[in-house]
Structure 1
Amino acid sequence: MCDSVDRKLQVFKNPSNRLTISMFRKLANYSICDISDGMVKYGEKDGGFIPNLIQQSTTDTVIGKAYTVLYAPVNDPRPEIKEGYIDTVPKDSMLIIGLPKEYQMVNYPFVKINNALYGGLMSTRAQYLDCKGSIILGRIRDPQEHKDLKYPVWSYGIGSTSPSILKVVGINVPLEVKITDVEGDRIITINPEDIIMGDPSGIVKVNPDMVEKLLDYVPKRVDADGKVAEDIKNGRPAKEAQKFWRSRIQTIYQ
């Protein structure tokens, strides 16, 4: 199945990349919350989180490199890419489908297109090709089919209509994603081959420059939080337990 962290990660076999297959297997042992906490520690204040995506099919943590697809309305001046994107999804990738930013909103339902961008047949093909999961920055349909396949899917919402008013205008192109936070409205860019992790909490884009630091820090943080949980179960105040164990992460694991 696509969610096994022990499968061979062919997509990461780029010899020019210092990040090894073993590193990605190790990252996949942790939740995206653990990874985000680590990235916050090392200066990425949003923890790499891509907001508003809801898991539509149950999975454990999965990780892969982004394979991006851009849809646009049929009257868009860009030529349609007629070759089926779903038949070229690389093994061990994370398929990410989006819309141009003029068809996005920062508030629910986050897109102006009610047609579903993705359905059960696409998951069937993606799973056969050993894709790790599909992230749809819009609506999907056939939710039960994805669940029956046990294939990982995230989306903004659910729809019923096929993407008949749309066409594919880009494959492996940057996807701009509108979001809003304390800094106001802004754009997150997902580039082809970005490192993407997903689990029931949502989706995170992992900073590759932080991976080695994350693999050093995150296991210590997880172990410390386990000790916090035990203390809380035994009656210790949560704030006190967190301060005690987290302040000792760098000293008790030397």
Structure 2
Amino acid sequence: MSTPSQDSISPQLASFSSCEISDALVKLGVKSGGHIPDIEMYSPHSVRVPDAEGVKICGPAFTVKMVEASDKTSPTPSDHFVDAAPRGHVVVISAPRHLKSAVWGGLMSAGAKAHGVLGVVLDGRCRDISEHRSLSFPVFARGHSTLGQGTFSRPSELNVPLTIEPRWEGEGFSFAATEVHPGDVVVADLDGVVCVPRRLVGDVVARCGKGREVDERCMEDIRAGRPIKETFAKWRG
């Protein structure tokens, strides 16, 4: 399955934050707002480090589905997924939820950077955090581990649709899963990770532009001391 090049992604989309993009997607009827839940920035900085404010990746998704290493029936790709990832893409990996081992390490970041990959988003764990940071390679993950990949998991399918579920939060809790299809646009920054369906990129850019204009007017009035309720009524309706 082919995916678009980085050059085909609207450069305007990268100018908006993940929050602005999620707001736009919700207004366009995407229940999850495109949010890939429970993912944090681990490299080149931590979300808890001020320098992380300038970190952002925006590019088409190259997806990887992981299975348990004991799974002998699922397909096995002919190429290593890092070698297969196209230049200018964001690697998105989905791993079995219960695994405590990592699915991405320092050698993978080195290979991905050499291949021109923009970054990686892991619905799973990473390790070798200092190595990722020394490479200044963007890594967003659900968690981290000391355990490597090979003993516990293996790649199964490349460039296939992924369904990423939120962590279980207790009985009665419900949050929409996010689907990531090859070529969807992934934006990740200090606030989190969001996936924009390819067909909605133009609509999202338009909605984000309008939303930013409204928020700027709200901010101007609020800083001038006007009540938030009054300001929202005036600009947000």
Q: Same fold (TM over 0.5)?
A: yes
Change (3 A) 1:82 1:115: farther
Is 2:123 the partner of 1:128? Answer: no
Contact 1:32 1:61 in 2 (8 A): no
Residue 46 (structure 2) aligns with? none
Please report the TM-score for the alignment, with normalisation by the length of structure 1. Answer: 0.78
Is 2:207 the partner of 1:208? Answer: no
Please report the TM-score for the alignment, with normalisation by the length of structure 2. Answer: 0.83
Which stretch shows the higher mean deviation, 227-236 or 152-161? 227-236
Residue 4 (structure 2) aligns with? 12
Question: Of residues 154, 158, 177 in structure 2, which corresponds to 1:167?
Answer: 154
Contact 1:221 1:246 in 2 (8 A): no
Shift of 1:150: 2.0
Q: Secondary structure at the match of 2:155?
A: strand
Change (3 A) 1:242 1:60: farther
Contact 1:70 1:168 in 2 (8 A): yes
Cα deviation per residue 1:42-83 (whole Å; 9 max; x = unaligned)?
A: 222321111111111245332211111122222212253353
* Structure 1: gaps (5+ residues): 1-10, 15-19, 105-111, 248-254
Is 2:68 the partner of 1:81? Answer: no
Q: Secondary structure at the match of 2:130?
A: helix
Shift of 1:186: 5.8
Question: Of residues 62, 70, 74 in structure 2, which corresponds to 1:67?
Answer: 62
Contact 1:96 1:135 in 2 (8 A): yes
* Structure 2: gaps (5+ residues): 44-51
Which aligned runs of 4 or more in structure 1 are off by greater than 6 angstroms? none
Contact 1:225 1:242 in 2 (8 A): no
Is 2:108 the partner of 1:118? Answer: no
Shift of 1:27: 0.5
Is 2:197 the partner of 1:191? Answer: no
Identity %: 30
Question: Of residues 234, 237, 244 in structure 1, which corresponds to 2:224?
Answer: 234
Contact 1:195 1:205 in 2 (8 A): yes
Residue 91 (structure 2) aligns with? 95
